[in-house]
Amino acid sequence: MGISRDSRHKRAHTGARRAEYRKKRKFELGRQAANTRIGAKRIHTVRVRGGNIKFRALRLDTGNFAWASEASTRKARIIRVVYNASNNELVRTNTLVKGAIIEIDAAPFRQWYEAHYALAIGRKQKATEGEDALTKKRSNHVLRKIENRKAESKVEQALADQFASGRILARIASRPGQSGRADGYILEGKELDFYVRKLKARKA
């Protein structure tokens, strides 16, 4: 028996069994879940209705993540899945699905922030000798631009603490089993507070 997406086999809301008046149809088919895991990129193509193509990601290790408050998007490495509202098994197996809360590498965003604002973020020790994003020589014109930007450079404390650890919480907004990508956005504000509380409750 194949996977079917029809509702004729379900009982009516009254509990009555529905009459079986036709067999399964091709347009009602379903397919196996992708169960995308973290690993070297592996994507299969699937020919679907209308001759279209879906991209079934079986393994992914990177994605494009947006830092909405800074209007900046960077490609970052996916480290692990930390929370999934629908199923704890998806956390244990590090399965990437839409809506999963994951940890990503903070380095691309830290490098962008320090180059854009010439301010340190999430540094545990002083930078090593040599050319650095904070100390490198800039023209007067660029210095004036950076000074104007610094008025808007405030980062909330919860996010700054994550930068210090080198890992940021993000949410997957794409569908890895359909588009072959694990893109999303960094958690901020009330949404970040909500998931931090959830993670603490799970550890307790």
Q: How much is the pLDDT for 145?
A: 77
The answer to whether residues 83 and 90 touch, using CB atoms and an 8 Å cutoff, is no
pLDDT level of residue 192 (50, 70, 90 thresholds): very high
- Cβ neighbours for 15, distance < 8 A, ≥ 6 positions apart: none
Q: pLDDT tens digits, residue range 60-109?
A: 999 999 999 999 999 999 999 999 999 999 999 999 999 999 999 999 99
User: What phi and psi, each to the nearest 5 degrees, are found at residue 166?
Assistant: 85, 5
Q: pLDDT tens digits, residue range 3-35?
A: 999 999 999 999 999 999 999 999 999 999 999
Q: Give the closest residue to 75 by CA, choosing from 63, 66, 58.
A: 63
Q: How does the average pLDDT of the chain come out, rounded?
A: 90
The answer to whether residues 73 and 85 touch, using CB atoms and an 8 Å cutoff, is no
Q: How much is the pLDDT for 180?
A: 96
Instruction: Order the strands of the 42-47 sheet from edge to edge.
Output: 37-38, 53-60, 42-47
Query: Does pLDDT of 132 surpass 60?
Result: yes
Q: List C-alpha distances in Å: 144 to 70, 133, 136, 147.
A: 19, 16, 15, 5
Query: Does pLDDT of 150 surpass 60?
Result: yes
More confident call, 143 vs 85: 85
Q: How much is the pLDDT for 130?
A: 46
pLDDT level of residue 125 (50, 70, 90 thresholds): low
Q: How much is the pLDDT for 127?
A: 52
